[in-house]
Amino acid sequence: MLLENACLRLEIADNTGAILRLDNRQNGKEYISARPETALRVTQKKNGRILPLKAVSFTGRRIDEDHAELCWRLEDGSLLKAEVMLDGRQAAFTSSLISAEESEVILVEYPVIGGMRRWDEKMEMVHSFATGLLVRDPLSAFGEGEGVRYAPYPESFSGASMQFYAYYGKQTGGLLFAARDPGAHMKWLNLYKHQEAMEATLMYANEDIGKGKSFAAPWPFTVSILEEGSWFAAARDYKKWAVRQPWCAMGPLDERRHCDWLMKDIGWTTFGIDAAYDRSEYIRLYHKDLGVAGFHILGPDWTEQDFVGHVPANLREWTTLRFDKANLRAIKEVKDRFAPFEFDFLVHPKDEKTKKDCEKARHIFPPTPYTYSCDAYRFNMLCPCEKYTHDLHVERDVRITDASGADAMYYDISANNLLHLCLAEDHTHPKGGGHLITEGYQRLYAETKEACAEKRGEEYFPVGTEMINEVFLPQLDFYQSRAGAQPASSLEMWPYKKQIDAGQAELIPLFAAVYHEYGAVRMDGWGKLVEETGDLFYDIVAKIYEWGGLYEINHEYSPMEAIDGKETKAQEHYWPFAKYGYEYSHGRARYLRQFAALRTGIGNPYLAYGTMEAPPETECAEEDKHYWHYNHGHGDDEKFAGTIRLPAVRASAWRSGRKDHPGYAVFLTNTSIKAQRITLRLDPDTCGQGTVRKYTDFDPDHAPECEILAELGDRRLTLELTLPSRKPVMIEIT
């Protein structure tokens, strides 16, 4: 069966319904050349087992030149019906499973689009795994079945933060795949190596599981031509659709109510400082050396929770507060801000009544390996749809913030780390839940924010989580991440550490490219202010700020920096770390201080509120960057020490997101010990016309140095710049 329009030609096997070919008719490029084998995969539960459900027959009917209806009969009598329609430069797929009366179908994987080989010397794949994964030449980087085989959504620790991915050639472009679903339904977005080619699939869940229960993906899964071969072009294409969805309905930050102090005053963050022991010396030292306000996510030891044992499960346990008064006093005196660290849905109850309440409200995840994820989700969590969870969440946080004076609340192992499927049969949601689980989280976050703001008599109260997903942009104000420190990092990018270490893969600012002006603030870097972590530190800091984030000094799994030879004790921490004795580095603090000043100063309309633009091309030398990351769980130290080769200069471009300061800016940081000479080309079609100024010497105590370089008119302008060692530079066109 052949479908075609002016742009595309799509061939479907007459006997199986499998996709055989997809061609770009305008340039003759063949993107797909597949064997006529797999059209779909369906999964059922039968006699307590999870089993595949095979198709036994196929029929197809072409309605028009660019439109077809397809139908497969499965071995249990169920039917899978699909429609395929070509629309301009995209093919759109929808499907529905009509269940046989006695069958319990739980998953459908359709379409299956294989046979994507190399059509360019430089092939890349980009995926919204975590917040952005780029892999160069994935057919070489991955073995059979490897890649992003199962990426659950919405789930951005071990899955997809957005509903798109792409496979393209750097010179010739390629294909963009996207689920155009505004309803946050449970799905998996997969791109992996199969039979010496790349294969892309959509998999979606039955959100009301039971015998004879039918379900559908009525929203289109689209495969469209990507003209430009770059990750930013893929993000730009998806963004056209994404910013019109419900999670962006509140508008950009500058046009709506938001946390003003977080966006304008905060220049750096910490994570995991012991809350129950006096760390005021560190709080004052960081503030003094970094020069602007910081935001502290205080460690979980302020109540009875910890990483390895008991986690509170009722109001009495949660409201037994142990905040050290010296810490709270120091934060207030230097005008920093803080949020308590909470495991908001994770519970380990002690008393019998609480155990019964928690068991009734427990989130029941699918068993391993049927999570279809690189994560097993072995958590004792509360389901967000249950009354016990709701009442505990809202009342707990109102009491805690009122008693402690917290400026915000942070939730670890939360909605962005979890599979949004709950198999409980007696909850307020159907068995499965899916988008109803997501709505439960959204409702809890929104009501908690409002209740805390009302109690404190404030207009707005911010909350944040570990990781981020597009569906929570209206509810979340900040998120904690670690992948920006790669390869000196693990956690959310751990499945691709081998490729990252080899220089085949890297984190890219995909989420920022789509959503930065809508929030939430990224806290990343997983760093220490010590010399021993290596000179990759300078690149990590520059990358975090240039991508619109805040650098995070992190103390989860290791002591704080030593001051005059003394470091914090493991006995006073919530994780049994080893001794290191690495001394606090004032020099590294001075480097970080520049970016904190830039973020809260003249760079604020761009780096805090702005819209990310395509990164400028800057030819520069590459250098070996050394790293040693010791702030992690026990063992495997050798995995977090090494060298990676990177360009000496970090560069990003932004359009201002503040109406009181319109403009366009390029940010450049030479992370090398040597000065670097670069060429920067400015195009008025991108930058606009105006005066080109260069800003340097950023410090909270004085205004930056400013030099007028040129006037950008209606022709392109080429600048030759010498970038000083380890100092950010801002080129602004206004």
Residue 189 pLDDT: 98
H or E element that contains 430: none
CB-facing half-sphere around the CA of 418: CA atoms within 13 A: 29
Q: Map out the domains of the chain as residue ranges.
A: 2-242, 622-733
- 268 within 8 A of 287, measured Cβ to Cβ: no
Return the SS3 of 387: helix
CB within 8 Å of 554: residues ≥ 6 apart: 270, 271, 272, 482, 525, 526, 527, 528, 631
Beta strands in 209-348 (DSSP E): 215-226, 266-273, 293-298, 337-342
Return the SS3 of 83: strand
Q: What is the pLDDT of residues 179-205, one digit of tens each?
A: 999 999 999 999 999 999 999 999 999
- 432 within 8 A of 423, measured Cβ to Cβ: yes
Structure tokens at 329: 């006093």
Residue 307 pLDDT: 67
Mean pLDDT computed over 204-233: 97
Mean pLDDT computed over 536-560: 97
Residue 305 pLDDT: 77
Q: What is the pLDDT of residues 575-611, one digit of tens each?
A: 999 999 999 999 999 999 999 999 999 999 999 999 9
Residue 35 pLDDT: 85
Mean pLDDT computed over 401-410: 97
CB-facing half-sphere around the CA of 249: CA atoms within 13 A: 7
Mean pLDDT computed over 232-247: 98
Structure tokens at 138: 């994935």
Other beta carbons within 10 angstroms of residue 617's beta carbon come to 10
Q: What is the mean pLDDT of the chain?
A: 96
Q: What is the pLDDT of residues 259-277, one digit of tens each?
A: 999 999 999 999 999 999 9
CATH 2.60.40, domain 622-733, yes or no: yes
* CATH class of the 2-242 domain in this structure: mainly beta
Q: What is the pLDDT of residues 639-675, one digit of tens each?
A: 789 999 999 999 999 999 999 999 999 999 999 999 9
Q: What is the pLDDT of residues 81-110, one digit of tens each?
A: 999 999 999 999 999 999 999 999 999 999
State the Cα–Cα distance between residues 591 and 699, nearest whole angstrom.
Answer: 10
Residue 665 pLDDT: 98
Residue 310 banded pLDDT, cuts 50, 70, 90? confident
Residue 490 pLDDT: 83
- 393 within 8 A of 344, measured Cβ to Cβ: yes
More confident residue, 620 or 339: 339
Q: In what order do the strands lie in the sheet with 505-507?
A: 55-64, 67-74, 79-87, 90-98, 215-226, 173-179, 160-169, 123-129, 133-136, 505-507
Mean pLDDT computed over 431-446: 98
Residue 175 banded pLDDT, cuts 50, 70, 90? very high
What is the sign of the dihedral through the CA atoms of 304, 308, 310 and 315? positive
Q: Is 90 exceeded by the pLDDT of residue 633?
A: no
Q: What is the pLDDT of residues 117-138, one digit of tens each?
A: 999 999 999 999 999 999 999 9
Q: What is the pLDDT of residues 46-55, one digit of tens each?
A: 998 999 999 9
Residue 727 pLDDT: 98
Q: Identify any residues that bridge with 583 across adjacent strands, giving them in sequence order.
A: 562
State the Cα–Cα distance between residues 637 and 532, nearest whole angstrom.
Answer: 14
